[in-house]
Amino acid sequence: MLGGIGYCEESELPRLYREMPVNSIWEGSGNIMCLDVMRVLSKQPAAMELLAAECAEVKGQNRHLDRAWRQLQQLLKRPAEEQGREIARLVYRLGAGAQMLRHASPPLAEAWCRMMLDTRGGIRLDAPTSTTCCCGLWGAGARRLRRREWPARASCPAVVPRTSE
Q: What pLDDT score does 136 carry?
A: 53
Domain ranges of the chain: 32-117+127-139
Q: What's residue 95's pLDDT?
A: 94
Helix (H) or strand (E) holding 142: strand 142-144
By mean pLDDT, which of 49-53, 70-74, 132-136 is the weakest?
A: 132-136
The whole-number pLDDT of residue 114 equals 87
| Mean pLDDT to the nearest integer, 119-140 | 56
Span 46-56, average pLDDT: 93
With cut-offs at 50, 70 and 90, classify the pLDDT of residue 152: very low
- Name the more confident of 100 and 158: 100
d(CA 107, CA 157): 13
- Mean residue pLDDT of the chain comes to 73
Does residue 157 register a pLDDT over 60? no
More confident residue, 96 or 119: 96
Q: What is the pTM of this model?
A: 0.60
Query: What whole-number distance in Å separates Cα of residue 72 and Cα of residue 56?
Result: 14
At 149 the pLDDT is: 44
**pLDDT at residue number 5:** 59
